[in-house]
Structure 1
C-alpha cells in the first residue's frame, strides 16, 4: 500500500502538446554544485555545463531544478552506501521506473500487487500546485494520471500495479472532477495532503474541500496521505540532523488524523475512507484513547460538540487505515488499533524499504498472530478497500 514510482523521462514529453516541450517537466543532465538536507528542508543547487561536481539527471520545470537522488531509489545498495547524493537513471535500479523490472523485483520480494506514490510531482502533486502556470499545471497533472493508469498500471503490469492519481489542490471543484474522471476508469485511490495549511491551503475543518470529499465519498475513492505530503517533514530545529526527522516521521500522520477525527467530515461523508502511508501504527492506540477522553470531557468548550457526533475511536474504526512496513510494537497492540484498519507496505525503492526481505520481516513481526489475521493485514484489507479482484489484482479501466 506504499511503494513509489520514479517517473521515466518521457512521461510529459510524450503526453503534452509539442508547444509545451520547452516548459513542461523535462530531464536535463547537469552537475550538482551543492545539496543539503537540514532541519527537514532539501536544498539542491544545479551547476552549469562544464562546472565541477557529480553529474545528475534533473527535473526542470519553471523555476524548479530537482535532481534524482539516491534517497529516491536506494534498493540494491547497503544502508551505509545510501547517502544524500544526486544520481542519473543509469545509477538506479531499473525497477524504480520500468514496469517489467518492477514486477521482477516484486516477485523477488513475494509481493503480488503494489500501490505507488509519485516522485517528481511529490506525494500529493505539490509540484503542480506550486507552479505559476496552473493551466499548464492541470495539463501536466492529468498527463501524469493518464500515464499512471494507461502505462504504469497498463496491460504490461498484469493488474499487479494499482493506480494512485493526483488532484489539482488549488481548486476543489477541479479536484472533484478529476476524481470522477479517474474513478470512471477504475481508479480507487487519490493523493492528498496530510496537513493542507502547510501548503497554504484550507484545512479540513473548513468547507473548502467538500466538493472533493463528496466526489471521493460517492465514488469509493480512498484519500491517501503520505508522510511529507505537507512539504514539511517533522523536525525540532533548523540544524537538526536528518536522523531526528526520520525518527519522528509519524508525527504528521498523528496531527493529521486528529484533525480529521475532530473535523466532523467523517460523519458528513459516511463512505469516505482515508489512509496514512509510511506513518507506521504504534502511535495510534494512545491518540485514540486521548481523543475519546477529550471528546467525552471537553467537547462542550472544545468546539466539536455540534459536529463530532460519536467517539473518535468509532470514526477511526469505520474510516481510517494505518500503513506500516516495520512496526513490531504496533503489531503487539493490534487489538487497540483494529485488525481491519491496518495495511502492509514495503516502501520500494526508498531507503527505508524492507525489500527484498519484506516477507521475512513480516513473518518475524506477525508470527504471534493467527493466520487469518495475517491474511487480512497483508492482503484482505487492501483488497476490500481498493475494490480489487479476489486474487488481489486491479481489474483495469472500468473496474
Structure 2
C-alpha cells in the first residue's frame, strides 16, 4: 500500500474495549477482578478489582462520562459526530472496525500505529493477572486489526512487565501473530528498566525486529496534595502540574535504557518513547554523555551514549511548536509524528492542517520522514 501520512501514536483505551473481552475468558476466581462491565442507572460501567472505574465507552482514557464544557476538544469532537454513548448496545468508534476506518479517512490518515490499554498496568496490581489481561488483549486486537484493515491499522502488543522472561515470550508470540511491535509499561516493573534481567526482552525484540515502545503515562515523583480537602481546593492547579509535565517521564526511560547497555549488547534493538515530545531530548543526551564520561566509563560502551539514541531510539509527538530548529539535534530519522486519536488532546480530525502549521518551515524531505518514512521503516509497514 502507498502511504502518504501515518500516525505513529494512536490509541485503543480500555474504556472502548468489548464489554466481555476479559470476563468471558477469565478463570472463575478472577471473574470479579479482571475488567468487566455492569449496567448501572446511568449506563454501562467498567469494574476492575471490584472497583467502579467509570463509564464503558467513556471519554478515554479515564472512563469519564461526556460532560459538555469540561474539555474543549472533546466538545469539538462531539460536534463533529464522535459519540460517547454508554448504553448497552452502543458502538464505540475506536473499537468498531468500520467506524475506526471512517475516522482515519476523515483525518486524512493512511495508516496508524495503535497503543492499547495503558490503564491496565495501573488498575491490576497482581502481576500474573495483569500479564493474562495483556495476552487476552493482544489476541483480540490482532483479530480486530485484520477485520478493520490489516494494511492500515497496526496495533502494538501490550507486553507484560511482571517477569522479563515471560515478556520475551510474549514478544515472540505476538511477532508470530503478525503484530509489528509492543508497548512495555515502566511502572510496576518487577525490576528496574536498567536491570540486566530485561536483556531477555531486548534480545527477543532484536531477533524479531519488533520495536519496544514506552508510552508516557505521567511524570512520577510529583509533590501531591496533602489531603482530600487540598486536592479539591487546588484541583485545577494540580491537574495543570500533572498535564504540563506528563510527557517528561520519557527522560527516565531514555537514560535507563541506554545506561542498561541494551543498545550496546543488541545493536538491532529499537525503542520508542511514546508521546514523549522532542525538544527536551538534546539536553538529556548532552547530560548523559557528560555523566558517562565523568563517572560511568567502566560500563565499557563502544560509543557515546548519545550515539545509541541516533542508532536505536525514536520519539513520538503530536504538537511541538519549538521543534523545527531542534530537529538536527534530535535527528530527522528519529522522530515520529502521531495524531493521538481518540484522546482528549488529540488533533483529530485536523491532522493535516495542524502539520501544515507546525512543519511549514521545514523541507518536504524531512517532513515526509517525520510523518511517513520513519514510522514505515521502523515498523516494516511497506
* Partners of 1:322 and 1:343 within 8 A in 2: yes
How many aligned residue pairs are there? 348
Q: 1:60 and 1:245 mapped to 2: Cα distance? A: 25
Write the mapping of 1:28-39 to structure 2, written as runs, cut at 5 A: 28-30=38-40
Contact 1:227 1:253 in 2 (8 A): yes
Query: Does residue 1:334 correspond to 2:320, yes or no?
Result: no
Residue from 331, 339, 346 that aligns with 2:339: 346
CA contact (8 A) 1:26 1:61 kept: yes
Give the secondary-structure state (helix, strand or coil) at the position aligned to 1:65.
Answer: strand
C-alpha RMSD of the superposition: 2.9
Could you tell me which residue of structure 1 aligns to residue 92 of structure 2? 94
User: What's the offset of the Cα at 1:235?
Assistant: 3.5
CA distance in 2, matches of 1:81, 1:340: 31
Measure, in 1, the Cα distance between the counterparts of 2:103 and 2:138: 23
Alignment of 1:39-118 (within 5 A): 55=42, 57-68=44-55, 69-72=58-61, 79-80=71-72, 89-90=86-87, 94-118=92-116
Gaps of at least 5 residues in structure 1 are 32-54, 390-399
Instruction: Using the TM superposition, give the Cα deviation of residue 223 of structure 1 relative to its aligned residue in structure 2, in angstroms.
Output: 0.9
Q: Distance in 2 between matches of 1:146 and 1:365?
A: 37
Change (3 A) 1:285 1:354: same
The equivalent position to 1:219 in structure 2, one of 208, 224, 228, is 208
Post-superposition Cα deviations, 1:146-197, rounded to whole Å, max 9, x if no partner, equal 001012x11332421102112232121111111111111222211112xx3x
Greater displacement, 321-330 / 9-18:
9-18
Q: Which residue of 2 aligns with 1:51?
A: none
Quick one: distance in 2 between partners of 1:148 and 1:183? 13
Q: Secondary structure at the match of 1:144?
A: helix
Q: Give the 3-state SS of the residue equivalent to 2:346 in structure 1.
A: coil
Instruction: Tell me the secondary structure at the aligned position of residue 336 of structure 2.
Output: strand
| Structure 1 residues 202-351: aligned runs within 5 Å | 202-228=191-217, 233=220, 235-238=222-225, 239=231, 240-296=237-293, 298=294, 302-351=295-344
Asked if 2 retains the 8 angstrom alpha-carbon contact of 1:59 and 1:67, the reply is: yes
User: Could you say what secondary structure the match of 2:352 adopts?
Assistant: helix
What is the TM-score of this pair, normalised by structure 1?
0.79
Given that residues 9 and 113 in structure 2 are in contact (C-alpha distance below 8 angstroms), is that contact kept between their aligned partners in structure 1? yes
Matched with 1:362 is: 355
User: 1:4 maps to which residue?
Assistant: 11
Distance 1:81 1:16 in 2: 36
| Structure 2 runs not aligned, ≥5 long | 1-7, 76-83, 226-230, 232-236
Corresponding residue for residue 145 of structure 1: 138
1:308-352 Cα shifts (integer Å, max 9, x gaps): 332122110011101011012123310111110000101111111
- For 2:172, the equivalent position in structure 1 comes to 180
State how far apart, in whole Å, the 1-side matches of 2:183 and 2:247 are.
17
| 2:375 aligned partner | 382
